[in-house]
Structure 1
């Protein structure tokens, strides 16, 4: 269980340089020669400026210690230490690294591999997930070594800072005194996550592509869990609102790739970082009554993360007077992962309550202002739903053998309409092709992303998405995911390009808007909301006959 940081009784001055966190890796790389060490070098991560009654200052620092041995076996061990925290107030080791042999190539590679491996092993559970966590095979050092060698010191320093802060989260939140956790949440974590949310990290993208999808999921779910905790603490007001602007309205993290004739866009967004576009909170009085059950529900919903994958297949054909570029949806996979642990109290009562994808809008096309595109062709007509009309006639009457002779005819007409939960459309905006998928409530016919369940003033609103993860006609998988394959969107879309572009590698835009909604599934509550996030990136389009860039 993660400790909630204590609200300070008085404002404490946090001695922390925003840039100092960025220098952790530089400090490690610039450690002096082991022969010149008169004492163990110390890097102060964070310190409170307020001294206690005995004159000591609370701090968290990283210490480098030389191990005994010959010069050829000289090694460094790093230790995270607490200083000035009760009950002893003396220096207390909190974490110890493996040996880093300075005589070897990439001497500090074991440190980074250990940090990443421990982050994976401690990643939160997602029910029914195959993310292997601790069962994941030992992380191979070669991919991380390649990431280190392919980026500058400054770029890799930012990535190392993120990895170190994520590992420090579990140490300060679970294994340290409450005061240390409070100091961590008030200083180190907001600053580090602000770096991630303010600009994309190229090294993080390279790392995720290199280490594989299993490690990627575990790593990003840990990051999502940490962000969720920070956002919750901010909303509770535990002294964090006076610090740096929160990363709780950031677009999450996304990146794109191009390989083997496929464009891919991946994105991760912790639920509370997504922009709220509709909610039952706006329908309540200005001073709402305190609802304990709704608070527990919101707490459970906050520990969720949208995981999106968009894959488009593309092909290039070279004709006499032009170049034909074709693209089609291969897969759109949207999953809302529940980030928690099996012993969480909300799991029993709200295990089936979660956000679900309610709309996705994907666009792909040439860069803005491109003049080499001659035209865009779509392949799907606007839907014209068919209706089945059933006419039933009933005739009633009396005949001659009865005393009264009269007749009566009654005609009844019924209409049957075939409806799907999801409606797919293709559109165009300039030279960009747009693929749109919208979820509808079959009970009312309204769009879920912009609507609300019927009877929102009741504790048990009525709508057609209750028990949405069971039954043969459910609009989601049993785990709450949505898979939209190419057969739902029709054939490919196409662009005609100038022949002069042959032999070049163009930049193609790919992006998406994603909506997730919460409507009650089994719980009796009037709470609902819809959240939104947008991602956009560029991918390569190689126009080289007989050659594909990977």
Structure 2
């Protein structure tokens, strides 16, 4: 059992004494051990000084178990004033944070590409929450270092020790601040680096027939401001729950392509208040719902070890439930209409054939009748419903050939052999129900007219909590690869949104 204390890293570094008071060349901070016994291996953070001029300090993460095993070392940071009571000033501490972020990104598939070579992180306007952001970046880096650099026999207890710190409330709040600081583009690359490490860890555990609870099977955060509610979410596909599968997947190359992807989603709602004399109307409508399945490794690696990047899951159903947390002020809830059902055009063809037979035979009269049914439907159907004071919104992907919901069905044997089936070459067809990258985008002008809650006037001046709960189904049907395998997975998330009635 791992023992993780995780003192505040920022506070420890910030409180290091000036170099003139050091009695040794390095100072260490205990992070994790495999048990409470000091004789067992431990993970430590060390600050080391060099003897050059001007003097500098560098930081390292290492295992100590009789031998010293270094896993990571930071850049050196010059000490401008060796006699200062603060070893590193705010400028140097910010530089160390950037060092953490850069090295996390280097573990992703984009680490050596141009997309990260010129990124810049703006300095925070306020350092009031800087310590929490700093600690989160460090623990994330330590987690990735243990996945990739730690010896196999030491890796497991180290990761189990780190994961509890990654999922606590302080880390989640700090994650929102860090994502806001680095910006959306780097946020995506950060999450791809983290979820690539999680995917590798899960696969390693599965190969040893171990069952683990991942440190962050789903990362999400919410923002509420300026008339918009926004939720970001990321989840490695391998960490989602399997709902149904046609047969166990034994094709290792196909498994590689399916496993090394993550779901990325953005949910945006517009909200608007209309204050009347005796009540308040809250209007919420869809601004944008976006989901993409994004590869976690390079396209070259996908082709070499897998069946290519186009063999991947796709969103097949999305369900969102929006609920006011306190309902004593709610008077009613109203939803808009669902999308129209498929139109069916029925055409009947009849033909009568008559022929004269020889005189001694009966007159032969042949009648043939045929009926042709043509179905015209959108691939995605939208429905709204009410449960108590909750508003439910659902998007279903339907098989255009028979109208079945894709998330609860599997392709027929005949369709698997049909090269023109709708799910074959599904990302390049002109009639594809996805974007060319394999995602979906639902805009408010096409799906749904919104929801209205009517509140009594006593709600004025209060800040209300709203819970957004969601379920996302991801399905795999063969694209270009010849296989009979199909499956559907599902993930669930929950976020809290805020609305001030003023």
TM-score (norm 1): 0.78
Distance in 1, matches of 2:291 and 2:77, equals 41
Give secondary structure in 1 for the equivalent of 2:151. Answer: helix
Contact 2:341-2:377 at 8 Å conserved across structures: no
523 and 197 in structure 1: CA distance in 2 versus 1, 3 angstrom threshold:
farther
Shift of 1:165: 1.4
Does 2:328 match 1:371?
yes
Gaps of 5+ in 1: 1-13, 50-55, 285-289, 400-404, 545-550
Contact 1:423-1:438 at 8 Å conserved across structures: yes
Gaps of 5+ in 2: 80-86, 357-362
Partner of 1:402: none
Partner of 1:27: 12
- 2:489 pairs, out of 509, 525, 531, with 531
- 1:186 pairs, out of 156, 181, 186, with 156
- 1:269 pairs, out of 216, 235, 241, with 235
TM-score (norm 2): 0.84
537 and 456 in structure 1: CA distance in 2 versus 1, 3 angstrom threshold:
farther
Does 2:276 match 1:319?
yes
Give secondary structure in 2 for the equivalent of 1:525. Answer: coil
Give secondary structure in 2 for the equivalent of 1:64. Answer: strand
Partner of 1:338: 295
Contact 1:115-1:167 at 8 Å conserved across structures: no
Aligned residue runs from structure 1 range 106-185, under 5 A: 107-125=92-110, 133-140=115-122, 142-143=123-124, 146=126, 148-150=127-129, 155-156=132-133, 158-166=135-143, 168-169=145-146, 173=148, 180-183=150-153, 185=155
Aligned residue runs from structure 1 range 373-392, under 5 A: 373-381=330-338, 383-392=340-349
| Offset from partner CA, 1:421-444 (integer Å, 9 cap, x none) | 211111111112111001122234
**Number of positions where the alignment pairs a residue of Structure 1 with one of Structure 2:** 483
- 1:219 pairs, out of 190, 197, 202, with 190
Partner of 2:166: 196
Distance in 1, matches of 2:479 and 2:345, equals 31
Does 2:95 match 1:95?
no
Q: CA RMSD in A?
A: 3.6
Distance in 2, matches of 1:112 and 1:264, equals 27
| Offset from partner CA, 1:246-284 (integer Å, 9 cap, x none) | 233964111110122111111111112211111234xx6
- 1:205 pairs, out of 176, 201, 210, with 176
Give secondary structure in 1 for the equivalent of 2:162. Answer: helix
Give secondary structure in 2 for the equivalent of 1:41. Answer: strand
17 and 93 in structure 1: CA distance in 2 versus 1, 3 angstrom threshold:
closer
Contact 2:30-2:44 at 8 Å conserved across structures: yes
Contact 2:422-2:432 at 8 Å conserved across structures: no
Distance in 1, matches of 2:231 and 2:302, equals 35
Distance in 2, matches of 1:295 and 1:97, equals 40
Shift of 1:315: 0.8
Partner of 2:83: none
Give secondary structure in 1 for the equivalent of 2:90. Answer: coil
Of residues 515-524 and 114-123 in structure 1, the stretch that sits farther from structure 2 once superposed is: 114-123
